[in-house]
Amino acid sequence: MIHSLFLINQSGDIFLEKHWKSVIGRSVCDYFFEAKEKAVDPENVAPVLQTPHHYLISILRGKLFFLSVIQTEVPPLFVIEFLHRVADTFQDYFGDCSEGVIKDNLVTVYELLEEMLDNGFPLATESNVLKEMIRPPTILRSVVNTLTGGSNVGDTLPTGQLSNIPWRRAGVKYTNNEAYFDVIEEIDAILDKSGTTVCAEIQGVIEACVRLTGMPDLTLSFMNPRLLDDVSFHPCVRFKRWESERVLSFIPPDGNFTLMTYHVSSQNLVAIPVYVKQNISFFETGPCGRLDITIGPKQTMGKTVEGLMVTIHMPKAVLSANLTATQGNYSYDLATKVLVWDIGKLNPQKLPNLRGSLSMQAGVPRPEENPSLNIELKIQQLAISGLKVSRLDMYGEKYKPFKGVKYVTKAGKFQVRT
């Protein structure tokens, strides 16, 4: 099971360690530092490393490495999932998961880690349960605690942990009962030079915010559930009903949670909302190149494309860019060689264009690689897969809740090759 956890910042300092079994010396991290050194970029460090006596499994979240040490055969996915859960919990508790925030809340962090894992076995990882035992710090509560001598550790048994629905706390009460669902879809796609789709798929997620009194039993149904290729559910969803009727039936956790994630893959045709016409070339003679990019709407289902942004990782030899944008601003970071063009809203009448010249380092051969374009965009009120929620029913409680469903489509890993 999980032996120890080290938190390591970008510059390679261990700023927190926690051991669930015997103490393992910090020197074990040297193997990790070695690998980090070799990988150059922090995101390229292999997540599973073998050392003579231990295994190191790490994740990179934000700018922090969560490095766990294990000694026996443990499913690596289990460890990685758990580490992400730890990071999520910090995010949830402190609103951020950075070195500063963690150092500011060290004792709470320690209490959390102690509560999440016992002897390497996960104990309480549901945010609802944890919050019952260790209350998240708020300025108000700190002040009250100091004045009254109260504590931020609950002293009742977290009841949810023992019921059949460990994700929901008992005795929830709200004056305004509301249930909101966000259907968020991300398009992962690769387009080739000519604009043809090489591959495209949609990763969807339904995020819920449910604030309902008592023990509501909800049923969410879709207009077109057969669209979904693969689904993964929050443990609260009754799988049998999904199998037989294709509806989501569940008693929700209290507060924010991910109800389901789904996948619409290449078997179905994925609509590509924009097209990109681009030409990036480097001349054989002379240290310069040309860049010309135009973006236009393709399949937007009549909605507006917003938050449009293009990111290009330029070859190392590119020194500067002298470009003109008909819309939005561009910037070129010399250190990271990243060109960012922030366009904003896409106006179909007047297509945004970025063109100009690139100046190169003299005496360096023409770069071989072709930089890829990374596109970001957002379309409100549209689930690009066509998924639609048809209705939400509540059983088990008498009151009438406010209900709402929002759709949004974003670009995930949306790349255009040149």
Burial of residue 150 (CB within 10 Å: 0-12, 13-18, 19+) is: exposed
38 near other proteins, rule: CB under 8 A: no
User: What is the spatial distance between Cα 216 and Cα 197, in angstroms, rounded to a whole number?
Assistant: 44
Shortest spacing between CB 199 and other proteins, in angstroms: 4
Looking at 243, 285, 350, 398, which residue binds other proteins (CB under 8 A)? 243
Size of the site for other proteins (CB under 8 A): 101
Identify which of residues 141 and 345 has a Cβ nearer to other proteins in the complex.
141
Distance CA 128, CA 375 (A): 36
* Distance, CA of 388 to CA of 394 (rounded, Å): 18
Which tokens is 225 given? Answer: 């559930």
Q: Which residues, 341 to 380, sit near other proteins by CB under 8 A? A: 368-370, 372, 374
Site for other proteins in 166-185 (CB under 8 A): 166
Is 132 a binder of other proteins (CB under 8 A)? no
**Of the residues 33, 37, 44, 364, which one makes contact with other proteins according to CB under 8 A:** 44
Of residues 317 through 346, those in contact with other proteins by CB under 8 A are: none
Whichever of 266 and 347 has its CB closer to other proteins, that residue is 266
Q: How many CB atoms lie within 10 A of CB 267?
A: 8
User: How many C-beta atoms lie closer than 10 Å to residue 128's C-beta?
Assistant: 19
Q: What is the DSSP string of 331-352?
A: EEETTTTEEEEEEES--TTS--
Bridge partners (DSSP) listed for residue 359 = 288, 320
Among 9, 24, 31, 71, binds other proteins (CB under 8 A): 71
Our finding on whether 417 is near other proteins (CB under 8 A) is yes
- The 10 Å Cβ neighbour count of residue 106 is 11
Shorter beta-carbon distance to other proteins: residue 114 or 178:
114
Is 399 a binding residue for other proteins by CB under 8 A? The answer is no
> Which residues have C-beta within 8 Å of that of residue 4, sequence separation ≥ 6?
17, 18, 19, 20, 21, 23, 24, 68, 69
Q: Work out the angle at residue 367's Cα, subtended by the Cα atoms of residues 361 and 369, and round it to the nearest 5 degrees.
A: 145
Determine which residue in the list 43, 173, 194, 284 makes contact with other proteins, applying CB under 8 A: 43
Tell whether residue 219 is a contact of other proteins (CB under 8 A).
no
By beta-carbon proximity to other proteins, the closer residue of 142 and 224 is 142
Task: Give min distance, CB of 248 to other proteins, in A.
Answer: 11
Q: Which amino acid is at 254?
A: D
Binding to other proteins in span 268-287, by CB under 8 A: none
Per-residue b or e along 21-53, where b marks 16 or more CB atoms closer than 10 Å to that residue's CB: eeebeeebbebbeebbeeeeeeeebeeebeeee
Which residues between 87 and 126 bind other proteins (CB under 8 A)?
Answer: 103-108, 110-111, 114, 118-119, 121-122, 125-126
Contacting other proteins (CB under 8 A), which of 27, 162, 284, 398? Answer: 162
Shortest distance, position 398 Cβ to other proteins, whole Å: 28
Among 84, 298, 345, 391, binds other proteins (CB under 8 A): 84
Is-contact 325 341, C-beta < 8 A? yes
Candidate residues 80, 209, 227, 340; the one interacting with other proteins per rule CB under 8 A: 80
Q: How far is the CB of 376 from other proteins (least distance, A)?
A: 13
Q: How far is CA 253 from the centre of its chain?
A: 20
Q: Does 255 engage in binding with other proteins (CB under 8 A)?
A: no
Interface with other proteins includes 203 (CB under 8 A)?
Answer: yes
Q: Which of 62, 95, 154, 348 forms a contact with other proteins (CB under 8 A)?
A: 154
Task: State how far the alpha carbon of 126 is from the alpha carbons of 82, 120, 131, 186, 251, in Å.
Answer: 11, 16, 9, 26, 15
Q: Give residues 45-64 in contact with other proteins (rule: CB under 8 A).
A: 46-48, 50, 53, 55, 58-60
* Sole binder of other proteins in the list 10, 33, 34, 142 (CB under 8 A): 142
